[in-house]
A and B are shown apart, each in its own frame.
Chain A
Amino acid sequence: MQSATAAAVTLLLALPGLAQAPAPQSTPPAPGSKPPAAAAPAPPAQPTAQAPRPAGAPAPVPAQAAPAPGPAAAPAQAGAPPQQPAGQEPPPKVDPKIFDEALKDYFDNKQEQAARKLYAFIESTPPTDENYAWAQYFLARCLIDLNLRHGGAVYLAKVAHERSNPQVLPKTLEALKVLTLVPHDEALIDEQIFGSLDLGFLPDSVSDYANYQQGLVDLRVGNERWARTHFVKLDEGGVEASRAKFALLVTRLRNAKGVVDDQMIDDFLELSKDEKLTMEARNEARLAVARLRYEKKDYEGALKAYDMVQLPSLDPGRATLYLEEAWTRYNLGQLRATIGLLTTLDAPSFRDEFLPDKYILRALVYRDLCQYLPAKRAAKELTRRFSDSLESIRERDDLTQDFRLRRAANSHGSTKRASRYLESLNLESENLGRHAGGFGDRLYKHLTKIYDLARAEAERVYQQRLRDAVREEADKLLRADEQVRLMEYEVGLKLYERVKRGAKLVQPEKQASLTSAQIAFKFTGEYWNDELRSYRVSIPSRCLEEGAQ
């Protein structure tokens, strides 16, 4: 069973994930679909209204948009957006009307054409143009609609950084907030945008989220006081306020260093009933309650908290939940219920989980029931199953190449997020190739460069996190392996223990009979998700009564 510190670490690892957990009301824009009617049609009207130009006439400000006499004029434009590297062709000049055409294409669901035109407009227009920010925003929307989310995020981030048009900013930040629901560039969006925004000028719709993110950044660097200055600004009835409370509680737990007070448990319990939090976050709070009660040896209380964990219909749940509950029941002396939960952990849904504890616990239960051969077999199962990984550790191989350890490391925490982000970048890069024709040469090359850079950085971050994570998993495995050896030794002694004269088996424990409201399905190795918490094991004890001669 994990200690309170371990629980705190687990929660902290889960925290950024929770911070980015999908809020119930927001959904990412569907690929290929139009933006919401309330939000989408308005913006194109605004720029057109702000920059009235007679139809078919050239733009009134030649310095901004009139066709330049030649390529030589392009570098002369102050702050021309994309810097042309040496040897690359300068962008062709385009008619400013292309912006309106692009918007028409966008709302006609022709994202590829719209993106190509918007990029051409951005390339040939100085950032001071009033439509420049809108063009960036709509280019981002086109890319997001085409499932090129990172490309979209880059352009949204540009709008947020440059802030050249205050009217575009709220929509940009809202779009960025939606992007945080899926794997994304944490450094770019969470830290560089929301973590460093000037909060005084933010619209209400995103100010809470930005405050929450900035508070989280402060918490991560250990500055709780600064974090609180952000959290107190949150709307008390909002989702972010609840999430901030959770983050603060986790930080308190981390700093408590094993000292658990009842107030902390009560706070987590209260949070577990907060409907504003996602089900996942509420379950995390319940698990925190269970773990803290376990640390205080309040096993009954811990079981109640585990029972409170709610899972969607037919959801198998999380392996750690069952394993922790199994430890709790073991400590309560409910050996058969423990084996029932361990049976659950053998389900196909959890076959790939890295749970060395599972084998130790099973061996302990069998040992306590004096079923020594099964105990020995259960303990040896660990060394059999993880033999390759143990060999790699002993040979001091590169542990990141070990399949099981890598999978275990990728299954949680920041490594999981980095892995998912890298995976999504790879998919998007593949997806980019399909739009090569539609985007045109210039935009395609530009996006390819963006994706290559992003993938290289994501790979670096992932490898860095993976190295640390596999070491932790390897330590866990080594500790379990050590336990197995002890168990084998202990069981070996018991197996060859001399049976005393007149020894009798202990009276079999009375099994609870089925009530009229219950139904029993004999388990024959076929797992049903709705049964995972219902296994009841009947197993005789082979222990001898004390007092034999």
Chain B
Amino acid sequence: MKRTLLLLVCLAPVLAYAQGDELESPGTVLAVQDRTYRMVSELWIGVGIAPLDAFYKGLTGQVGYVYHFSDYFAWQVGRGLLSYNIKTGLRNQLETQFGVSPTAFPQLNWIVGSDVMWTPIYGKTSWLNGSVGHFEVFGTLGGSVINERIAADVASGTGQTVFRPAVHLGLGARIFTSKGVSFRLDFSNEFVIYKGLEANILLVQLALALNFGGTE
């Protein structure tokens, strides 16, 4: 009983303070604005890298099309990536000094896939207190088909091209520059579904997105 009373005595000033504040400046204020930029049909083209593999670094080019059902939800109908792979020093060393066959190294060739896109964050930012920029942050989840070259037999140095399914998970941000043009930065990972050599492929990409049918 005493504890309850003590608790009530302690809480009373807090409640009174909250009520006093409400009485002095009642209500809440929202800045309600029309969205400056709204995406509808998006065609994008990007360049990036696949930096994770120790034996090669992939320079990637990718195109895709996204249909935005609303400001929050979109379907990345299709995307296709082609990778141009550059040998690392380690691979060169293995090939020249240890006689490992070039075909013994697994590497990414291309990827196609489709995802859903969720855009929970839309915001604006100030540039040097002189202009206002708008941006959004989105996540993607989908499936991909990956074409890789794998080493069939490392000992003999033979390789073969295979298709692998993968789960695509990504996070990206978009900066709007006008009604029709925006730039997006994507970080994504392909979780390759195969008990094999390569478990995942990380991709970093910068893309130019063209929006058709949007409003400003």
Q: Which residues of A contact B (CB under 8 A)?
A: 314, 336, 339-340, 343, 366, 371, 373-374, 377, 514, 516-523, 528, 530-531, 534-540
* B132 CB-CB contact with A under 8 Å: yes
**Quick check: which of B26-34, B58-66, B156-164 contacts chain A, the rest being far away?**
B26-34
The answer to whether A343 and B29 have CB atoms under 8 Å apart is yes
Q: A314-B131, A516-B70, A517-B38 are in contact. Are A523 and B24 (CB under 8 A)?
A: no
The answer to whether B32 and A538 have CB atoms under 8 Å apart is no
CB distance from A364 to the nearest CB of B (A): 15
The answer to whether A520 and B31 have CB atoms under 8 Å apart is yes
CB distance from A473 to the nearest CB of B (A): 28
Q: A314-B131, A530-B132 are in contact. Are A536 and B29 (CB under 8 A)?
A: yes
The answer to whether A521 and B30 have CB atoms under 8 Å apart is yes
The answer to whether B30 and A539 have CB atoms under 8 Å apart is no
Q: How far is the CA of A336 from the CA of B26 in the complex (A)?
A: 11
The answer to whether A538 and B122 have CB atoms under 8 Å apart is no
23 contacts between A and B (CB under 8 A): A314-B130, A314-B131, A339-B27, A340-B29, A374-B23, A517-B34, A519-B32, A520-B33, A522-B28, A522-B29, A523-B30, A528-B126, A534-B32, A535-B31, A535-B32, A536-B31, A536-B32, A538-B27, A538-B28, A538-B29, A538-B30, A539-B26, A539-B28
Q: How far is the CA of A239 from the CA of B206 in the complex (A)?
A: 49
Q: Which residues of B contact A314 (CB under 8 A)?
A: 130-132
**Interface readout for B98-141 with A: 1 if CB under 8 Å, 0 if not?**
00000000000000000000000010101000111000000000
The answer to whether A522 and B30 have CB atoms under 8 Å apart is yes
For B23, B28, B31, B32, which residue has the most chain A Cβ atoms within 10 angstroms? B31
Q: How far is the CA of A290 from the CA of B25 in the complex (A)?
A: 31
Q: How far is the CA of A180 from the CA of B58 in the complex (A)?
A: 64
* B53 CB-CB contact with A under 8 Å: no
Q: How far is the CA of A528 from the CA of B28 in the complex (A)?
A: 17
The answer to whether A520 and B28 have CB atoms under 8 Å apart is no
CB distance from B87 to the nearest CB of A (A): 48
Q: Which residues of A contact B215 (CB under 8 A)?
A: 517
The answer to whether A540 and B26 have CB atoms under 8 Å apart is yes
Q: How far is the CA of A183 from the CA of B188 in the complex (A)?
A: 59
CB distance from B202 to the nearest CB of A (A): 33
The answer to whether A523 and B132 have CB atoms under 8 Å apart is no
Q: How far is the CA of A347 from the CA of B35 in the complex (A)?
A: 22
* B71 CB-CB contact with A under 8 Å: yes
The answer to whether B26 and A531 have CB atoms under 8 Å apart is no
Q: How far is the CA of A478 from the CA of B76 in the complex (A)?
A: 65
Q: A516-B70, A528-B132 are in contact. Are A534 and B33 (CB under 8 A)?
A: yes
Q: Which residues of B contact A516 (CB under 8 A)?
A: 70-71
Please provide the chain B residues from 19 to 57 with a CB less than 8 Å away from any CB of chain A in the complex: 23-35, 38
Among candidates B24, B70, B71, B124, residue contacting A377 with C-beta atoms closer than 8 Å: B24
Q: Which residues of B contact A340 (CB under 8 A)?
A: 29
Q: A516-B71, A519-B122 are in contact. Are A531 and B27 (CB under 8 A)?
A: no
The answer to whether A521 and B33 have CB atoms under 8 Å apart is yes
Q: Which residues of A contact B124 (CB under 8 A)?
A: 528, 530
Q: How far is the CA of A307 from the CA of B38 in the complex (A)?
A: 24
The answer to whether A373 and B30 have CB atoms under 8 Å apart is no
The closest CB in chain B to the CB of A336 belongs to B27
Please provide the chain B residues from 69 to 92 with a CB less than 8 Å away from any CB of chain A in the complex: 70-71
The answer to whether B28 and A519 have CB atoms under 8 Å apart is no
Among candidates A373, A518, A522, A539, residue contacting B27 with C-beta atoms closer than 8 Å: A539
CB distance from B119 to the nearest CB of A (A): 12
The closest CB in chain B to the CB of A519 belongs to B35
CB distance from B11 to the nearest CB of A (A): 23
Q: A517-B34, A517-B38, A530-B132 are in contact. Are A371 and B29 (CB under 8 A)?
A: no
Q: Which residues of A contact B126 (CB under 8 A)?
A: 528
The answer to whether A523 and B33 have CB atoms under 8 Å apart is no
Q: How far is the CA of A498 from the CA of B23 in the complex (A)?
A: 19
The answer to whether B29 and A519 have CB atoms under 8 Å apart is no
The answer to whether B70 and A537 have CB atoms under 8 Å apart is no
Given contacts A516-B70, A518-B32, 4 further A-B contacts (CB under 8 A): A517-B34, A521-B33, A535-B31, A540-B26
The answer to whether A537 and B27 have CB atoms under 8 Å apart is yes
Q: How far is the CA of A539 from the CA of B70 in the complex (A)?
A: 30
The answer to whether B23 and A531 have CB atoms under 8 Å apart is no
CB distance from A210 to the nearest CB of B (A): 40
CB distance from A182 to the nearest CB of B (A): 24
Among candidates A336, A339, A534, A540, residue contacting B31 with C-beta atoms closer than 8 Å: A534
Q: A516-B70, A516-B71, A528-B132 are in contact. Are A374 and B30 (CB under 8 A)?
A: no
Q: Which residues of B contact A538 (CB under 8 A)?
A: 27-30
The closest CB in chain A to the CB of B31 belongs to A531
Q: Which residues of A contact B32 (CB under 8 A)?
A: 514, 518-520, 534-536
The closest CB in chain A to the CB of B70 belongs to A516
Q: How far is the CA of A314 from the CA of B127 in the complex (A)?
A: 12
CB distance from B117 to the nearest CB of A (A): 17
Q: How far is the CA of A521 from the CA of B27 in the complex (A)?
A: 15
Q: Which residues of B contact A371 (CB under 8 A)?
A: 23, 26
Q: How far is the CA of A539 from the CA of B28 in the complex (A)?
A: 7
CB distance from B129 to the nearest CB of A (A): 10
Q: A314-B132, A374-B23 are in contact. Are A518 and B29 (CB under 8 A)?
A: no
The answer to whether A535 and B29 have CB atoms under 8 Å apart is yes
The 9 closest A-B pairs by CB, nearest first: A539-B27, A523-B29, A531-B31, A520-B30, A521-B31, A536-B32, A534-B31, A373-B23, A534-B33
Q: How far is the CA of A536 from the CA of B33 in the complex (A)?
A: 10
Q: How far is the CA of A272 from the CA of B124 in the complex (A)?
A: 33
The closest CB in chain B to the CB of A527 belongs to B31
The closest CB in chain A to the CB of B29 belongs to A523
Q: How far is the CA of A517 from the CA of B33 in the complex (A)?
A: 9
Q: Which residues of A contact B132 (CB under 8 A)?
A: 314, 528, 530
Q: A314-B132, A528-B132 are in contact. Are A537 and B28 (CB under 8 A)?
A: yes
Q: How far is the CA of A434 from the CA of B130 in the complex (A)?
A: 33
Among candidates B25, B34, B130, residue contacting A518 with C-beta atoms closer than 8 Å: B34
For B30, B35, B38, B70, which residue has the most chain A Cβ atoms within 10 angstroms? B30
Q: Which residues of B contact A518 (CB under 8 A)?
A: 32-35
Q: How far is the CA of A531 from the CA of B124 in the complex (A)?
A: 11
CB distance from A307 to the nearest CB of B (A): 14
